[in-house]
Amino acid sequence: MKKKIIYTVLLVILIVGGYIGWQVFGPTVAARENKYFYIKTGSTYDEVKTALLEKHIIKGSFFFDRIAKQTKYNNNVKAGRYEIKSGMSIFSLVRMLRSGSQAPVKLVINKLRTKEDLAQKIAANFECDSLSVIDFLNNKDSLEKSSPPLKLTAEWQPYTIDLSDADTNSVIGAFSWVATAKGNPNGLTFYLEGICFTK
C-alpha cells in the first residue's frame, strides 16, 4: 500500500513537473502573421503583457509573470521591434525582451521626391511621426554645421567647428565626414583622435 502511494506521488510530481517544464521551455509561443512585436517607448510591463495576450502571442500570463519577475524584466522593459518565431518558449521570449535583442528595421528609400515623402516613409517604419521628422529636416542648426573643405597633411592638426549658436537638443549624428574620389584620386587614409564636444 505504501509503495502504491509513493509511486502515485512520484507520478503526480513527474506529471506536474513535465507540465511546468512544457509551459516554460516548450514551444508555447505563437508567432503572428507579420512575426514582429512592437514595444513603444515608455511602455510599462503590464502594457507589454496585455499586448502579448491580446495578440495571442502567449495564451496566459501565469508563467510569463513568474519568469519576468525572476529575471527582473518587469522592471526593465525595453522599447523596440522584436521578432517572434514559431516554436519559441516563454523563457526564450522573456529572455529576448529582457536583453533587448531587437530585429533590425530596414529602411529602403526610393522614388521619393520631397521631404514630406521622406518624412512619411520614415514615420511608417519608426516610432516618430512625420511632423517631427519634417521639423528635424528643417532644423538647419542640426544639419548644416560643418567646416570648410580641409586639405589634410601628414602632421597632426586640431580642427574646431563652432557650435555656440546651434541647437544641440535634437542632434542624432554628431559627427560625420565626406571625401570624394575627385579630390583623392590616389585613395585616402586618415586618422581621427580626441573628438570631443565642449560648451
Q: What is the pLDDT of residues 19-70, one digit of tens each?
A: 677 777 778 888 776 688 888 888 999 999 999 999 888 888 899 999 999 9
Rounded to whole angstroms, how far apart are CA atoms 26 and 180? 55
> Which residue range is the domain that position 76 belongs to?
2-99
Q: How many helices (H) does the chain have, and how many strands (E)?
A: 7, 2
Number of domains in the chain: 1
Q: Is residue 84 part of a domain?
A: yes
How far is residue 130's CA from residue 141's CA, in Å, rounded to a whole number? 19
Beta bridge partners of 87: none
Q: What is the pTM of this model?
A: 0.59
- Distance CA(51)–CA(97), nearest Å, equals 13
Instruction: Give the pLDDT confidence score for residue 33 in this predicted structure.
Output: 67
pLDDT at 173: 60
pLDDT at 158: 79
Asked if the structure places residue 19 within a domain, the reply is yes
Domain assignment present for residue 156? The answer is no
In a domain, 155, yes or no: no
The ranges of the chain with pLDDT < 50 are none
Report the amino acid identity of residue 143. Answer: L
pLDDT, position 186: 83
Cell numbers at residue 44, please?
510599462
The residues, ordered by sequence, that sit 6+ positions from 140 with a Cβ below 8 Å of its Cβ are: none
Element (H, E) at 80: strand 80-83
